[in-house]
Structures are given as C-alpha cells and as structure tokens.
C-alpha cells in the first residue's frame, strides 16, 4: 500500500517537530508538543534518582590496556568482587546462593554485551569449574544438595 507524498511528508514533519497526535478515546484532541529540553530534563531526573543509597560504596574499577600488555594470569586467583544487587533483584536472598569461587567462577567480571566487544578484548570468555578440589585445613566443607529421588529427563527414561 503506497502512501501519498502529502501523507508521508505530514508524518515526517510531525516527527521532526516532536508533535504527535493520537486520535483515540481518553486522549486529548490537540497534538502534544514536547520540547527536547523537557525530554532531556526528565531523563536527567530519572538518573539522578537512581543513587547508590546510604552506606554503599562505588565499585573500585581498574582498566587494563590489552593492546600493550597481556592479561595478568594472577587475577584469576584474586577474590571476585562482591555481589551487590538491588532489593528484590535476586530470587534467593541467601548468602549461600552462589557457590564459593574456589569451585566455580567466571574468568572475567563483566559479560561483554556483543561478540564484537568480546573479540576486541582478545580475552577468552569462560567459566572455571573445579569440582574435585582438595579441601585444605580450615576450609568449609562442600555444600551438597541431597535428594532421595533420582530424576531423569524423558529422553533418558
């Protein structure tokens, strides 16, 4: 279905001028005029309300230039950063919901948002699993989930 040049120019002008007209019950019959300054101010107010909250400290960030120096493998043995989530962001509020990083941990702290960013970093994205780690004196025992029912998927039955 082709639109007339007059109709398409009217739509492009309304988007260019930030005026939108909604012809539906419950909406005003006059077009809404929204200035870009009002839009920017509203977004700024939203970000200003986010805040860290009382008592929270920002993460200590450090950068590594991967183009001039290879990654330091000793970082793999460093303790991971603490997990700080907003309230109600996690299903479990238990401090034991995540396993000890001695048994499993990710080798990078932030997940790249795109594969291009992962390729640009030239750092492998992986998970280190150590299921049969020897316990040393003073280590806590491995947390186990015990269940009396043997579960199988439908394919394995």
With pLDDT > 90 as the criterion, what percentage of the chain qualifies? 0
How far the first Cα of the chain sits from its last, in Å, is 55
> Which one is predicted more confidently, 117 or 21?
117
Q: Please name the helix (run of DSSP H) or strand (run of DSSP E) that holds residue 117, with its range, or none.
A: helix 115-121
Whether the model clears a pTM of 0.85, i.e. scores above it, the answer is no
CA angle 68, 72, 73 (to 5 degrees): 145
Reported as a single tens digit per residue, the pLDDT across 20-52 is 444 445 444 454 454 555 566 565 555 555 554
41 vs 15, 69, 144, CA distance in Å? Answer: 20, 42, 52
> CA-to-CA distance for 128 and 101, rounded, in angstroms?
9
Mean pLDDT to the nearest integer, 97-123: 76
What are 32's strand-pairing partners?
Answer: 20
Look-up: residue for tokens 């029912």?
149
Reported as a single tens digit per residue, the pLDDT across 51-74 is 545 555 666 666 777 678 777 777
> Going by C-beta distance under 8 Å and a sequence separation of 6 or more, which residues neighbour residue 11?
none
Mean pLDDT to the nearest integer, 70-94: 74
- Phi/psi at 37 (nearest 5 deg)? -65, -40
What the block records as the tokens of 150 is 């043997």
């Amino acid at each position: 279905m082709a639109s007339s040049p007059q109709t398409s120019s009217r739509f492009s002008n309304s988007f260019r001028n930030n005026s939108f007209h909604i012809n539906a019950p419950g909406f005003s019959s006059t077009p809404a005029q929204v200035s870009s300054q009002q839009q920017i101010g509203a977004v700024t107010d939203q970000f200003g309300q986010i805040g860290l909250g009382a008592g929270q400290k920002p993460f200590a960030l450090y950068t590594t230039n991967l183009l001039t120096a290879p990654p330091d493998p000793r970082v793999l043995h460093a303790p991971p950063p603490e997990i700080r989530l907003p309230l109600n962001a996690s299903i479990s509020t238990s401090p034991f919901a995540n396993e000890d990083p001695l048994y499993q941990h990710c080798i990078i702290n932030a997940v790249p948002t795109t594969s291009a960013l992962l390729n640009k970093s030239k750092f492998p994205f992986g998970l280190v699993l150590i299921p049969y780690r020897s316990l040393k004196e003073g280590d806590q025992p491995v947390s186990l989930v015990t269940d009396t029912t043997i579960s199988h998927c439908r394919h394995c039955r």
